[in-house]
Amino acid sequence: MIKIIQGDITTLAVDAIVNAANQVMLGGGGVDGAIHYAAGDELYEACLKVPEVRPGVRCPTGEARITPGFKLPAKFVIHTVGPVYRDGQHGEPEKLAACYRNSLTLAAENGCQSIAFPCISTGIYGYPKEEAAQIAVREVHAFLSNSEPQIGRAVAPRPPQEDGLASSRPPEMEVIFCCFSERDANVYRSLIA
Ligand code: AR6
């Protein structure tokens, strides 16, 4: 199920909120700053513990990492790094799509049934809002329509229930597009009507 809301992602009591982070993963401006502020210093400490894949890079562009949510109402923060937009001809669409796919996969692997995304890359990183929203909606639709095999691959099968019946298919994930502005929310509404 997909929902569009206008508001502050740090207030959402969902299983996971997604952070539009940078590769160092130690905070910044925009939604990243708001999430670190609301989660408290423990989030910074948890991010410090995420191993660097190379000096100064904990999360390469397009990938995702997970930490607890600490003081946030959300259980987890999934940190992903969107592309800096140049002209759309430097792999930006593929990298942005990977952010959504990898965040959703990580959420499923961690048993999340609800996840909220900000409009990744569309602030400081300059991605045009309509193009970014089209990619976000396309990737979420694709993930949800394939969610049975994706979850099946990503998560170890649950043990049989006490009555001996095989566990049923996990419920579909709820995906929220959390737009900071009404204008952004309208972009998504026009795509999901
Ligand atoms: N809740 C929901 N959305 C928000 C919030 C909030 N509290 N605050 C801002 N937004 P940006 P980027 C929206 O710039 O473009 C940081 O310094 C905002 O209106 O936060 O991916 C990082 O450390 C916009 O629509 O992320 C990186 O260095 C969206 O969040 C860099 O910025 C994304 O804007 C990442 O840039």
The DSSP annotation for the chain comes to -EEEEES-GGG--SSEEEEE--TT-S--SHHHHHHHHHH-HHHHHHHHHSPPSBTTBSS-TT-EEEEE-TTSSSSEEEEE-PPPPSSS-SSHHHHHHHHHHHHHHHHHHTT-SEEEE--TTSSTT---HHHHHHHHHHHHHHHHHTHHHHHHHHSPPPPPPTTSPPPPPPPPPEEEEEESSHHHHHHHHHHH-
Q: What's the pLDDT at 77?
A: 99
Q: Residue 27: which pLDDT band, with cuts at 50, 70 and 90? A: very high
Report phi then psi at 13, rounded to 5: -90, 70
* Number of residues written out for the chain: 193
Q: Residue 150: which pLDDT band, with cuts at 50, 70 and 90? A: very low
Q: What's the pLDDT at 159?
A: 55
Catalytic hit among 15, 32, 41, 87: 32
Give me the sign of the Cα torsion angle 184, 141, 80, 70: positive
Active site residue 184: no
Distance 169 CA to ligand 1 centre (A): 34
pTM summary value = 0.91
Write out residues with Cβ below 6 Å of ligand 1: 8-10, 20-22, 28-32, 34, 82, 118-125, 178, 180, 184
Percentage of the chain exceeding pLDDT 70: 88
CATH number at 2-149+162-192: 3.40.220.10
Percentage of the chain exceeding pLDDT 90: 85
* Over residues 161-166, mean pLDDT: 49
Q: Residue type for 27, please? A: G
Q: What's the pLDDT at 117?
A: 99
Domain boundaries, the chain: 2-149+162-192
Radius of gyration of the chain (CA): 16
| Residue 25 near residue 47 (C-beta atoms within 8 A) | yes
Q: Residue 170: which pLDDT band, with cuts at 50, 70 and 90? A: low
* Over residues 36-54, mean pLDDT: 98
What digits encode the pLDDT tens for the residues 51-70? Answer: 999 999 999 999 999 999 99
Q: Report the SS3 class of residue 60.
A: coil
| Residue 58 near residue 51 (C-beta atoms within 8 A) | yes
Which residue has the least CA distance to atom 5 on ligand 1? 31
pLDDT at 160 over 90: no
Which residue has the least CA distance to atom 9 on ligand 1? 31
What digits encode the pLDDT tens for the residues 69-110? Answer: 999 999 999 999 999 999 999 999 999 999 999 999 999 999
Distance 119 CA to ligand 1 centre (A): 7
